[in-house]
Structure 1
Amino acid sequence: MDWSPQQDQIGQLAQCLRDSLSGHDVKAQRNAEQMLKQAKASPDINNYLAWITTNETANVGLSEENFFSARCAAAIMLKNNVKASYKSIPDPSKEYVRSTILLGLRDPKQQIRNFSGSVITEIVRAGGILGWPKVLPELISMIGNESGQMTSEAQDGAMGALFKICEDNRRALDREYQKERPLGFLLPKLLDFAANSNPKIRSKSLAAVNVFLNEPIAHTCRENIDVILGRLVQLTSDTDDDVRRYVCRAFALLADGMPELLKPHVQGIVEYTLSQQKNNQNAELALDAAEFFFEASNTPTLREALGPFLPQVVPVLLDSMVYSEDDQLRLEGDDDDADVEDEAKDIKPVFADAKQKGSTAVSGTSTPQGNGQAQKSVNGYAYEDDDLSEGEIDEDEDYGVDPEDEWNLRKCSAASLDAIATHYGAPVFEVTLPWLMDNLQHQDWPNREAAVLALGAIGPGCIDAIQQHLPKLVPYMITLLNDEQPVVRQITCWALSRFAGWAAALDEDRKREFFEPMMDGILQRMLDQNKKVQESAASAFATLEEAASDQLIPYCAVIVQQFVRCFDRYKDKNMFILYDCVQTLAEHAGPALAHQPLVDLLMPALITRWTKVQDQSREMFPLLECLSYVATALGEGITPFSKPFFERCIRIMHQNLEEGFHAQSDPVFDQPDKDFLVTSLDLLSAIIQSVNEQTINMLVTGAQPNMFELLAYCMKDTNNDVRQSAYALLGDCAIYIFSQLQQYLPTIMELVITQLDLSSANADPETGFRVINNACWSCGEIAMRAPPDVISPYVDRILQQLAVILMNPQVPQSLNENAAIALGRLGVSCHQQLAPHLASFAGPFLGIMRNVPWTDEKAHAYKGFVTVVLANPQALEATLIDFLIEMAGAPAVVLTGLQQDSPLEGFERVLATYKGMIGEAEFDAFLRNMPPPQEQALRGLYKF
């Protein structure tokens, strides 16, 4: 494009760009930002930005330093313009920008080269690979210095841009365009550059290749994997640390994606990565080397191949678990900070868990996932997965990053050791034991700490071999709970929790000797003077609660007393984990918490926090979730507290739904956080299940706005977690307050039928199926109680939706089961409408129900199914034997213990009906077609 800038325009724009960075002159900064907004309307704005970015000097009255700042600001603005509106940029301007910005890669200043590379990458991303077909050949020409005129800086700039393009366009580069893949052209060039004399070119080209070795490995790389592997082997002897880093990373990626490829070469790779992991001068290289063992230890093919090398691998992993000198200095500065208030940036977000209902859930509860820091983990080692999808933003960027939360050599080694120990057991312990003996009582705290970490890492996997040593090891670790170094106390809490299952399973005498001191020691550390130790102790105690389960019941008083002290002492961050401890105790100790002295202790502490936390606070999520478990555990004991809980949940839901409505109609409003709805719905469910009928009727009647109207809005929310919890609440309403629910059924049943459509799960099958599962369950609960005239208008459509689920083998088994149970329950009051269709659904129904354990829900379903059979007995002839076998498998306690809900009378009537239809002798002969044990059981259970 033949375009030239006007000098005065360059000067004005450069000055504005410079002033936009003037943090010390707020007025100038605001004026500059306003002028830049106006400048965006100019059709030539991007040309000017590209010109300023790529020109080292300009006679515009700015100092060299200020003009450099303007150039950086121009590049950033240009990138943002391309990102926001590339398609609307005039074609001549696009051509000019594309041809000009490449010059920025030759700039002497690295920042400008990097900024130019970012603009180039954004153009490729916005316009597509085919939108700038010359960019890859031009970059390759620059890197290879085909003209003979490129400086090493220019080659480095072009290589950096090419790497960014690979990183941001991984899938697009491996896609076929007219039977050709861009990566087919690019990959050989990258492998050639990996042999370049410039180590920066070698390392970045190999880094670019590694982009395509991430799962799923690029098709082109799979086709050329032998060539890639050959280049990697050549580069193992490279003198540059960064090159060797990317070689190690490539081996780790291949261990994950193509383990069979590496299996024949495992000895050489193990020896090489061990040699690199021992590099004490380069922590990044050591970590990338250790990543191979992490991936290999979690891949069955390579994990098996590591067996012969355990004596070499395990000691290196153990040594790598000792804190570095820099970390030691940082940690030795940790002060007692229990009285220091937390800052908002220190508290990462927590996320609510929606509840699953139906045949796979127990009493409407869900498994607590823990409300500590919202981080990914592998076997308990904080593992930060930075493999974000294209365009995905790391939500943790807005929060302070604790170095202890980062994935590092120490944690990678510990996680690898854990996985290897789980697979190999005793052989790992045999290699580890001498190292443990040298370090467990070491005078230097980093060695003691690493030994405890190692003990915790191998403990569960090596439990058979280590068990004989635990009577000595556990008491010693308990003494380390009082170590002068906070970090030792911190890791000891975690390590002890790894042996909680062993201690909880001991006989009473040995439990007093080991379990009680372990429990007491961790409880004491929950009130440590150091907040990180508090956090570790609380997490460890939640783990102990899971492992001990109802074994904790005798200790509830001691535990609750300590929890109450923690409520008085904890700052905001650790309060989140304390909620997890309380709800886990409520889940496993259950009704034991309803003992009035414990209620009088615990509830005031929770109420105090309840009154402090604002409706909009993120702390409301774990608090509401905790309260839902407590309400379930206390049963009617929650009644005195239920009114404020209920009313606040209604208020939070109303606020959230209103905010969502405004956000949909006006983009100025932010979308509200759906977790407020999820946790409020779950607490409402828990209250409805727990309090007496009179109380819940009073609460629901007095709710403002109306609870069922809010529930209907939640049932059609766009968020799957919200809908999942909404349908859980709907089912509970059907069970406990059907008389109040009934008048809203015309609206609600239409929503239920819509939700039963499997296509509603297309966008996100995993969570979508859970919503449909809860919809099936709630539909069945309604069908059990609704009079025929109320439910009959919906029966045909419900049957159609449930039949589709029943006959679809691709949906999860739990969904098949809940659909079958709902269909059976529908027969309780609507058997006449279902009877004509019996032959079509009886086979799938019986096949699915065969795998469902005999519970009250299964009995209810068969009570309804029997009623349908009696209305059309001829339709069951093809599957009658299957039905009789199911009847024979019904436990006597189920048949006799459900009173009016029992299918016993119906089963007996079915037998009498077929006996009358076929004739007594013929029916007796027919029963001999059953397997003898089932025939005998049938004759023993029923009167016929």
Structure 2
Amino acid sequence: MAMATDVKMAAWQPNPESLKTLAACLKDSLSGFNKTAQKQAEQMLDQAKSSPDINNYLALIFSSHAPPTGLTFSDSDFHLVRSAAAIMLKNNVKTDFKAIPEASLALIKMAVPMGLQDKNSQIRSYAGNIATELIKRGGLYAWPELLPDLLKMLSNENGQYTDSAVEGGISAMAKICEDNTKVLEREHNGQRPLNFILPKLIGATKNPSPKVRALALTAINVFTPRKSQAMLNSIDDLLQHLFLLAEDPSSDVRRQVCRAFVRLVETRPDKLLPHIGGLVDYIIAQQSNDNDEELATEAAEFWLVIGEHENLWEALRPYVHKIIPVLLQCMVYSAEDIAILGGASDDEDEEDREEDIKPQFASKKATRNLNSINGDQAAAEGANSQHAYEKLASMDDDLEEGEIDDLDEDAGDENPDERWTLRKCSAAALDVFARDFGADVFTSILPYLQANLRHDEWSQREAAVLALGAVADGCMAVVIPHLPELIPYLITLLNDPEVLVRQIVCWTLGRYSAWAASLEDPALKATYFEPMMEGILTKMLDKNKKVQEAGASAMANLEEKAGKRLEPYLGPIIQQFVKCFAKYKDKNIYILYDCVQTMAEHVGPVLHRTELSGPLMAALIERWQRLADQSRELVALLECLGYVAMALGDSFTPYAEPIFTRCVNIIHQNLEQNMIAVNNAEVDSVNKDFLVTSLDMLSAVIQALDDDKSAALVQTQPTFFELLSFCMDDPLDEVRQSAYALLGDCSKYVFEQLRPAIPNILPILLKQLDLDDILDDDIDASFNVINNACWSAGEIATKYKKAMEPYVQELLERLVEIVSNPRVPKQVNENAAVALGRLGLDNHEKLAPHLDKFAEEFLESMDDVDASEEKASAFKGFSMVVAQNPQALEKTLLHYFTSIARYKDLDLPSPYRQDLREVFQNVINVYRHIMPQFDQFIQTMQPRDQEALKTNYVVQA
């Protein structure tokens, strides 16, 4: 790579004083001692961002090996200054790329290669991150020299690059591959970059440096799950190298080898199948590595993916007896995990830490080993150094791998309950194997269970209970004969002195709750189901919060499996829930809400009984009144209340008005705050979960109450439909999805209140039905929005009737586009077809000329739709369109008559059934009159369809 010896050699020349000032500011901004100097430096850095030359200076500082003339920094301080400059430069590229002058971009592109060759690994990593950000913002081909130059560094054919430079090059290449996967696979000017890159990466796996080998595999593994032509062409060469690297002395390399095998299971299982015996032995060896849990976990992933692969799992059958003992061995808590988790105390009265409740983001701890520094000054310098690294981490709102990695010495102290571990992966693999091989797996683990369920060591008991729970789904049939003995013993373990045993017993009992709930004999129910439920309910009030959480989760599982069988026990269950509301700290409240909503969902209207709804609603309303509008807990409470409202139905009326009003206010506040955030970069954007759950709660209330009460609530909110229209146009899919669900409910239950707003709402809805914005993204959430929008359109069409006329043509075009597009999910197709049919109820004359464009798709979409009022009204509307233009059905007439013959409407109220039959008969009459050979046409139908048609309709003259 042609390197400038210094960025200063470019045409631009720095002002020495400005350079010194910026370097000093960067240092002071990281200071932990002088808060005044730190604040002043931060303000100056903010002001400096407006300078057109700021990125030139940052590039210069970042790529320089010595401080600016006139400044004296220690090596560690100058490294921090360079790091701060690199992060600030990357953030500027990220946020203001389009505003950066071309001359500055050219300087940055000169600085990055110098950074990639720096002797310091962190500076090399920062350089790679800047390169990645430049490519992300400007596109791969805006810097055409980068990839060829990186490949030259990687090959190092003439030995002109240092080992550090090669590491920097491969590190940058790995990041670029990850962020530009599709671009590298795509053809550009007749060539696909990956065709050149992949062989070079495979060649780099022979590099003497283990770090280069590992990073080369990291880059390759970006492409292993994908079926690109380059990967297909290189697969044999890659496999050959993987088998050679399988015994690599570096665990980092072997970790990537395991990852490659895992990913190749999905792309080229045929290539792995001949080697399955050797792969089993290899994976077992890596999973058994006691010195590297990350490597062992990566290896264990292999069992998960291969066990779920329809063409490969059977190949493992001869090796099950070898694999299962390794999985069981790895399910025992490690000594390190026991040191962190074991012997947990009663903590029911301790308040939860905020970080235990908030979602976990990818932040890194920033600590340094200070053992080499002595004395009070050393302690102070060490504290300041730690502060500086923490400050660096906070500067970067999008930490990239490697930026703070070298400082992350406490990563191993992370709570094993909060991360994916070898133990969890092994248990998940055992679950998959149980579903694959059933009785064979239980036969393999039965001696282990017999030896360890009553083991003196709690960690062995715990692992045995975990194993029993893991095989529940797959081995239920063969475990059932043992459950009369196992369940009572597990219930006694709910009182085990060790917290982690009680915790896992709750989970395992939840896994077997379907068996207990299905017992019909009252004596058996009293022997097994009732003690199980009572035991789980008791653990919901354990003195340890982790056990409380496990008890609540197990109870939610039991509720789901037992369903309406819980009705006789609802009184005691709700009493226990009320006690939990009074006792739980912040974290477990979220699990309790899930428990309540699961109960409401599965037991339904029986909850409206006063003795049940009274205490439950009192507890929920007490929490409701306590929470501020900005409380995250309110989101979970709203979701829970939505399910409860649906279960209570009109009995929810006493609680509806204040909840409805508050939800409208929350939507208003959040929309307002979001508008401020859009116009002011310094204001945080809102958490859209508040919008989603408030919209869902409004839907639940409108559905639950009698129509007149729902209408009265809507009338009290003059801005209701204006706010709804804003939510229908929100950038976030989830908000729009809930908004269109609410629109559909309003159309169904409070249409007269909605009617005046329809001219404002329908144009937004029509825009949402345009597929052009989402098909390339292939995002399920976007299709969920379209699904709800289609349903809403159909509901509006049935009520707005002839007034729909100005919108019919565009709505027809949108719906036809949806039902005709093979990439649209089936459910969305069906909802669009229903909307099309319902549009024909009052606008059949408008649709009739276009019938041939959607008749076939309509009938195909409706074939699998269950009988409902919606399907009936859709077929009625479609048939009214057919009656207007019967000739248009020439190609699909047989399908249409077959649909009539097979239409099942037994569950519909008689008016719907009668209406639809009359319309069907009318269309049959039309065809009897216009088709001379009508009787012969009927004879082409299948005998059973002919019989059904003749039984229900008049088909002969």
Match of 1:332 in 2: 342
Match of 1:293 in 2: 303
Give 1:285-364 correspondences, 5 Å limit.
285-349=295-359
CA distance in 1, matches of 2:622, 2:659: 13
Does the aligned pair in 1 maintain the 2:28–2:41 contact within 8 Å? yes
Opposite residue 588 of structure 2, the aligned amino acid is: N
Match of 2:627 in 1: 613
Does the aligned pair in 2 maintain the 1:49–1:77 contact within 8 Å? no
Match of 1:372 in 2: none
Q: Select 1:931's aligned residue among 928, 942, 946.
A: 942
The 10-residue stretch of structure 1 (126-135 or 235-244) with the greater mean CA deviation from structure 2:
126-135
Opposite residue 33 of structure 1, the aligned amino acid is: E
Partner secondary structure for residue 503 of structure 1: helix
Q: 1:92 to 1:513 in 2, by over 3 A?
A: same
Q: 1:152 to 1:424 in 2, by over 3 A?
A: same
Match of 2:579 in 1: 565
Give 1:357-756 correspondences, 5 Å limit.
402-509=415-522, 510-703=524-717, 705-756=718-769
Match of 1:60 in 2: 71
CA distance in 2, matches of 1:5, 1:263: 62
CA distance in 2, matches of 1:115, 1:247: 26
Q: 1:452 to 1:62 in 2, by over 3 A?
A: same
Does the aligned pair in 2 maintain the 1:39–1:45 contact within 8 Å? no
Opposite residue 323 of structure 1, the aligned amino acid is: Y
Shift of 1:417: 1.5
CA distance in 1, matches of 2:318, 2:431: 17
Shift of 1:809: 4.2
Does the aligned pair in 2 maintain the 1:493–1:540 contact within 8 Å? yes
Structure 2 unaligned segments of length 5 or more: list them.
Answer: 362-397
Match of 2:42 in 1: 33
Match of 1:194 in 2: 205
The 10-residue stretch of structure 1 (283-292 or 716-725) with the greater mean CA deviation from structure 2:
716-725
Give 1:80-99 correspondences, 5 Å limit.
80-83=91-94
Partner secondary structure for residue 455 of structure 1: helix
Q: 1:51 to 1:590 in 2, by over 3 A?
A: closer
Match of 1:243 in 2: 253
Q: Select 2:828's aligned residue among 809, 812, 815.
A: 815
Opposite residue 71 of structure 2, the aligned amino acid is: V
Match of 1:15 in 2: 24
- Normalised by the length of structure 1, the TM-score is 0.86
Match of 1:367 in 2: none
CA distance in 2, matches of 1:156, 1:562: 60
CA distance in 1, matches of 2:525, 2:223: 53
CA distance in 2, matches of 1:900, 1:744: 32
Shift of 1:465: 1.8
Q: 1:272 to 1:791 in 2, by over 3 A?
A: closer
Opposite residue 677 of structure 1, the aligned amino acid is: L
Shift of 1:497: 1.6
Q: 1:905 to 1:123 in 2, by over 3 A?
A: closer
CA distance in 2, matches of 1:430, 1:559: 37
Does the aligned pair in 1 maintain the 2:58–2:89 contact within 8 Å? no
CA distance in 2, matches of 1:876, 1:61: 87
Q: 1:768 to 1:10 in 2, by over 3 A?
A: closer
Shift of 1:455: 1.3
Opposite residue 26 of structure 1, the aligned amino acid is: K
Does the aligned pair in 1 maintain the 2:868–2:908 contact within 8 Å? no
Q: 1:855 to 1:744 in 2, by over 3 A?
A: same
Spell out, residue by residue over 1:548-581, the C-alpha distance to the aligned partner (whole angstroms, 9 max, x if none): 2222222222221111111111122211121111
Shift of 1:810: 3.9
Does the aligned pair in 1 maintain the 2:869–2:908 contact within 8 Å? no
CA distance in 2, matches of 1:694, 1:632: 17
Does the aligned pair in 2 maintain the 1:5–1:48 contact within 8 Å? no
CA distance in 1, matches of 2:153, 2:820: 60
Shift of 1:144: 6.9
Q: 1:389 to 1:187 in 2, by over 3 A?
A: farther
Spell out, residue by residue over 1:411-453, the C-alpha distance to the aligned partner (whole angstroms, 9 max, x if none): 1111112112111111111112112222211111111111111
Opposite residue 556 of structure 1, the aligned amino acid is: L
Structure 1 unaligned segments of length 5 or more: list them.
Answer: 352-387
The 10-residue stretch of structure 1 (124-133 or 248-257) with the greater mean CA deviation from structure 2:
124-133
Shift of 1:943: 7.1
Match of 1:284 in 2: 294
CA distance in 2, matches of 1:389, 1:302: 38
Match of 1:258 in 2: 268
Does the aligned pair in 2 maintain the 1:50–1:101 contact within 8 Å? no
Match of 2:33 in 1: 24
Does the aligned pair in 1 maintain the 2:245–2:257 contact within 8 Å? yes
Opposite residue 479 of structure 1, the aligned amino acid is: T
Shift of 1:256: 3.4
Partner secondary structure for residue 312 of structure 2: helix
Spell out, residue by residue over 1:482-533, the C-alpha distance to the aligned partner (whole angstroms, 9 max, x if none): 2111111112222222222222222233233222222222222111222222
Opposite residue 581 of structure 2, the aligned amino acid is: F
Q: Select 2:244's aligned residue among 231, 234, 250.
A: 234
CA distance in 1, matches of 2:882, 2:166: 80
Opposite residue 303 of structure 1, the aligned amino acid is: W
Does the aligned pair in 2 maintain the 1:22–1:29 contact within 8 Å? yes
Partner secondary structure for residue 323 of structure 1: coil
CA distance in 2, matches of 1:342, 1:534: 13
Match of 2:374 in 1: none
Does the aligned pair in 2 maintain the 1:46–1:78 contact within 8 Å? no
Shift of 1:932: 3.3
Shift of 1:633: 0.7
Q: Which of 1 and 2 has higher RCO (CA within 8 Å, sep 6+)?
A: 1
Shift of 1:901: 6.8
Match of 1:203 in 2: 214
The 10-residue stretch of structure 1 (628-637 or 806-815) with the greater mean CA deviation from structure 2:
806-815
Q: 1:329 to 1:925 in 2, by over 3 A?
A: same
Shift of 1:109: 4.6
CA distance in 1, matches of 2:761, 2:98: 45
Opposite residue 414 of structure 1, the aligned amino acid is: A
Q: 1:898 to 1:272 in 2, by over 3 A?
A: same
CA distance in 2, matches of 1:5, 1:918: 89
- RMSD, aligned CA: 3.8
Does the aligned pair in 1 maintain the 2:851–2:881 contact within 8 Å? yes
CA distance in 2, matches of 1:253, 1:183: 18
CA distance in 1, matches of 2:123, 2:922: 86
Does the aligned pair in 2 maintain the 1:556–1:592 contact within 8 Å? no
CA distance in 1, matches of 2:159, 2:809: 78
